[in-house]
Chain A
Amino acid sequence: MGMRTYIISRLLLTFPTLFGISVVAFLTIHLIPGNIVEVMLGTRSDVTPQQIAQLNSVYGIDKPLWQQYATWAGNVLHGDLGFSLRTGLPVTTLLGSALQVTGELTLLAIILALLIALPLGTYSAVRGGGLGDSVGRLVSLLALSIPTFWLGTLLILFVSLYIPWLSSFTFVPFFDNPIKNLQIMILPAATLALGLAAILMRMTRAAMLDVLGKDYLRTARAKGLRSSRVLMKHALRNAMLPVLTIIGLQVGYLVGGAVVVENVFTLPGVGRLVVQGIEQRDYPLVQSIVFVVAALVILINLLVDLCYAWIDPRIRYS
């Protein structure tokens, strides 16, 4: 099967997946007790039942569930994600600006995680069994164990006390001011990267250990190639396949982790937006965010699969 056929077949498979996700996203938020009118009015407003009925009608929540789903799904097929019930703003606008933040956060976290994991994992594998390996594995275990919210809060406090110039709570988009943007994003990205770095480090170590024992590496060394060239060009490249797979699978985890990090660091990303939406029962917002994020995860995993052929030319899709 050629690359094009492979891509088409994968894309066709996404339709039933996305349909299922849309139904699940719609039902889960609607089946939670409480609705936007109740949450909006809380427990202190003096309203009449007639006013409540009017508000239910305004927000469209008095219609049967199937009708609400059909309206929303029909609009999504036309590219219209609807309007946030709470703010009245188009979901596309809210999600667009939030995705930029979460996208940047996720990308920075992946880059940082790779910068930490690849050298450490390689070192650990090369020094297999030694003190360096043991320390590396211990550090990765600690990194995996530390809760994100705890680490984030600790970093905020530490920085505000000892590195105040790094402390910032006013988000600035990257293209408005790259320096200011990175000043804001470095801490949350590092917080999010830590857990992923630990996983990648262990995967890199395991994959490298497997590759380092292969005959072709012995041949490369026998041919007089420098050790660094053997490691970087031959060993690491072959070890990257499982690492890449993990990154693809971890994108979903990163987006979930971003929920916590965005709330701790006050970043206006998708995570914060969806948590607010759930708390406020903002149905169109939550449904659309879950749907779009799921679609993005599917797309990213497709891209990861396509990268295999680039990394290992022997791979053919079938």
Chain B
Amino acid sequence: MTGLSWGRRRLALALIVLGSLLICAVPGQTGHAAKAGGTLTIGATSDALTLDPTVTTDEASGPVENLLFNSLVKLNDKVQIVPDLASSWTISPAGTTYTFHLRSGVKFHDGTIMTAGDVAASLARLRDPATKSPWASFFTDVSAVSTPNSTTIVIKLSQPYGPFLAVLASFLSVSSANFVTTHKGNLTRVEDGTGPYKLKSWVPNTSITLVKNPNYFVAGQPHFDTVVFQVIPSDASRVAALRTGQIQFAAFIDPIYFPQVKQVQSAGQAKIVHVLDINYHMFGFNTKRKPFDNPLVRLALSYAINRGQILKAAGQDQGVVSGLLTPALASWALPVSKYAPYTTNLAKAKQLLAQAGYPHGFSFSIMASHFLPSDYTAAEIIQQQLAPLGIKATIATTEWGVYVHDWVVRNFDSFTGENGDWTDPDLAMYAALHTGGSTNAFQFSDPTIDKLLDQARAATSVATRKALYDQIQLRLVNDGGPMIYTYASYWDYAMSPNLVGFTYIPRASYQGLIGASFQ
């Protein structure tokens, strides 16, 4: 500033200061002034069982793994596929060849560079029968994997598979091939991912501590220095811990606790992100047992029950009436106004029962578990709603392990429970509704539905798939499918008032913390 007058020097200084302030105030990716540092303590309902996503089946391990690993692609908050380790990809016109171009320079937590070979090895390990991954069956169409260079991987499928990208996002996590070999494939308590955080320590049944990965490939992320998953199983205790500031983040699923969480919010000690889950609550039938082998009976019950009442009583009115695909999958779900049985009509129900040969009703049992408290209450409500039709429903209260066993061996008349929409309608429907599907506990078989599911799975055009899934949804609800869909629940994500930047991502909700920080 040599040679400028004093006035001009002051003006220049002011402009520099103002410019600096403006730069600092420009919102980052998440629309807030991200402040690096701090420890985020998350109240977890139970301890993780493993850090190996390939064999993870429990609900507690996933959140930790969300922060340790990446996949080729991931889902954003609108359930759309976006880049992750792959910066771009192409799909052949036939829909059978996927070519992924990887980001270069991405490092594993041990400092080594990730290559296409590591991605291929991770996929091979997932598919290897010796790994015994429950998710391997989603990759049976993979016929060949090649790595023409260190940043390109080509995956060939034996037939087109529309949900393949969603499957990759949900089930493939990339680990260092060398690390896996060194640990002989035992990754239960160790990890070497590329995620924003890495494992520091794990005290069983107490806490897992993760520290920031300084080499994370997204510039400026993550923001917290440390993330601690603190095991606090009791909802009441998690509310108390949030109130006292001992935890800064917790998910609440049981709507009974929503008022308590709201009280903490009203006291200025928390804020809540209220989101619609992608699971739906349902009342399912064993279609091999009378009278549920008759679709008219199933349809009659669908007309008889009042879903709004079930939502109010069982779901504490914290949700929305839903079909097979919940409104959270907005781009796929049909509005419930398309479903005739969603308007309760006892006269119609009676007529259908008479047609089916049950003019005076019948008796049956509903398997329900206190492990799913809302669904247990739903069973009680359904029991009352069916009584005017002469239908006597007995609730078989079942411990969770017994419930799962009876579900596996199909030892039930009917049951209340939850099903997942996952992140693609094929994942929501195929295994549960196709003849012989592995989660088709209803033993349901409809050749028309089978054909539509097969066509939708093979289609690669979103518009074509949407049209097919619309037909499936209408047929399953309006023609007496094996399930009566009732509602989808809200979840509450409660967090400290100064925690900003959290974005809810279905089925990977803790990935939404990657861009979060303390203000």
Residues of A within 8 A of B (CB): 32-35, 38-48, 51, 54-55, 58, 86-89, 93-94, 97-98, 153, 156-157, 159-161, 164, 167-171, 263-266, 268, 272-273, 276, 278-281
Residues of B within 8 A of A (CB): 43, 46, 49-50, 57-58, 129, 132, 134-138, 186, 188-189, 204-207, 230-234, 236-237, 239-241, 243-244, 246-247, 399-408, 417, 419-420, 431, 437-439, 441
For A172, give the chain B residue with the smallest CB separation. B206
For B267, give the chain A residue with the smallest CB separation. A161
Please give, as numbers and ranges, the residues of chain B lying within 8 Å of A268 by CB-CB distance. 204-206, 231
Tell which of A35, A160, A169 touches B405, judged by Cβ atoms closer than 8 Å.
A35
- Report the separation of the CA atoms of residues A159 and B244 in the bound assembly, to the nearest whole angstrom: 10
Tell which of B134, B186, B246 touches A46, judged by Cβ atoms closer than 8 Å.
B134
27 example contacts (A-B, Cβ-Cβ < 8 A) are as follows A32-B402, A33-B402, A35-B405, A38-B401, A40-B57, A40-B58, A41-B404, A45-B135, A46-B431, A47-B438, A51-B129, A51-B132, A54-B132, A86-B49, A88-B186, A93-B204, A94-B205, A98-B205, A159-B240, A167-B244, A169-B230, A169-B241, A170-B230, A264-B234, A265-B234, A266-B234, A273-B205
- Report the separation of the CA atoms of residues A35 and B402 in the bound assembly, to the nearest whole angstrom: 9
The answer on a CB contact under 8 Å between B138 and A46 is yes
- Report the separation of the CA atoms of residues A169 and B441 in the bound assembly, to the nearest whole angstrom: 40
In addition to A42-B57, A51-B134, A280-B401, 5 A-B residue pairs with Cβ atoms within 8 Å of each other are: A34-B401, A87-B49, A87-B188, A156-B237, A169-B232
For A88, give the chain B residue with the smallest CB separation. B188
- Report the separation of the CA atoms of residues A181 and B226 in the bound assembly, to the nearest whole angstrom: 23
The answer on a CB contact under 8 Å between A43 and B417 is yes
The answer on a CB contact under 8 Å between B57 and A58 is no
Tell which of B50, B134, B247, B401 touches A47, judged by Cβ atoms closer than 8 Å.
B134
Tell which of A87, A89, A264, A281 touches B237, judged by Cβ atoms closer than 8 Å.
A264
Please give, as numbers and ranges, the residues of chain B lying within 8 Å of A168 by CB-CB distance. 246
- Report the separation of the CA atoms of residues A42 and B407 in the bound assembly, to the nearest whole angstrom: 9
Please give, as numbers and ranges, the residues of chain A lying within 8 Å of B400 by CB-CB distance. 39, 279
The answer on a CB contact under 8 Å between B134 and A45 is yes
The answer on a CB contact under 8 Å between A43 and B204 is no
- Report the separation of the CA atoms of residues A168 and B246 in the bound assembly, to the nearest whole angstrom: 7
- Report the separation of the CA atoms of residues A33 and B46 in the bound assembly, to the nearest whole angstrom: 23
The answer on a CB contact under 8 Å between B439 and A43 is yes
Nearest 4 A-B pairs (CB), nearest first?
A34-B401, A160-B240, A34-B405, A268-B205
- Report the separation of the CA atoms of residues A153 and B232 in the bound assembly, to the nearest whole angstrom: 13
The answer on a CB contact under 8 Å between A33 and B57 is no
Given the interface contacts A48-B137, A156-B237, does A33 sit within 8 Å of B230 by beta carbon? Answer: no
Please give, as numbers and ranges, the residues of chain B lying within 8 Å of A164 by CB-CB distance. 243-244
Please give, as numbers and ranges, the residues of chain B lying within 8 Å of A278 by CB-CB distance. 401
Please give, as numbers and ranges, the residues of chain A lying within 8 Å of B205 by CB-CB distance. 94, 98, 268, 272-273
Most interface-central of B232, B240, B241, B407 (chain A CB within 10 A): B240
A157 to chain B minimum Cβ distance, whole angstroms, is 6
Given the interface contacts A86-B49, A87-B49, A169-B232, does A43 sit within 8 Å of B134 by beta carbon? Answer: no
For B420, give the chain A residue with the smallest CB separation. A44
B203 to chain A minimum Cβ distance, whole angstroms, is 8
The answer on a CB contact under 8 Å between B401 and A279 is yes
Please give, as numbers and ranges, the residues of chain A lying within 8 Å of B137 by CB-CB distance. 46-48, 51
A50 to chain B minimum Cβ distance, whole angstroms, is 8
Given the interface contacts A41-B57, A45-B439, does A167 sit within 8 Å of B402 by beta carbon? Answer: no
The answer on a CB contact under 8 Å between B236 and A156 is yes
For A155, give the chain B residue with the smallest CB separation. B240
Please give, as numbers and ranges, the residues of chain B lying within 8 Å of A45 by CB-CB distance. 57, 134-135, 438-439
- Report the separation of the CA atoms of residues A237 and B347 in the bound assembly, to the nearest whole angstrom: 78
- Report the separation of the CA atoms of residues A272 and B244 in the bound assembly, to the nearest whole angstrom: 24
For B438, give the chain A residue with the smallest CB separation. A46
Tell which of A41, A55, A94 touches B204, judged by Cβ atoms closer than 8 Å.
A94
B391 to chain A minimum Cβ distance, whole angstroms, is 25
- Report the separation of the CA atoms of residues A89 and B243 in the bound assembly, to the nearest whole angstrom: 34
- Report the separation of the CA atoms of residues A126 and B510 in the bound assembly, to the nearest whole angstrom: 62
B399 to chain A minimum Cβ distance, whole angstroms, is 8
- Report the separation of the CA atoms of residues A157 and B243 in the bound assembly, to the nearest whole angstrom: 10
Tell which of A43, A266, A280 touches B231, judged by Cβ atoms closer than 8 Å.
A266
- Report the separation of the CA atoms of residues A171 and B241 in the bound assembly, to the nearest whole angstrom: 13
Tell which of B136, B138, B233 touches A51, judged by Cβ atoms closer than 8 Å.
B136
The answer on a CB contact under 8 Å between B438 and A263 is no
A119 to chain B minimum Cβ distance, whole angstroms, is 32
Please give, as numbers and ranges, the residues of chain A lying within 8 Å of B49 by CB-CB distance. 86-87
Given the interface contacts A45-B57, A45-B439, A47-B137, does A170 sit within 8 Å of B204 by beta carbon? Answer: no
A83 to chain B minimum Cβ distance, whole angstroms, is 11
- Report the separation of the CA atoms of residues A255 and B129 in the bound assembly, to the nearest whole angstrom: 43
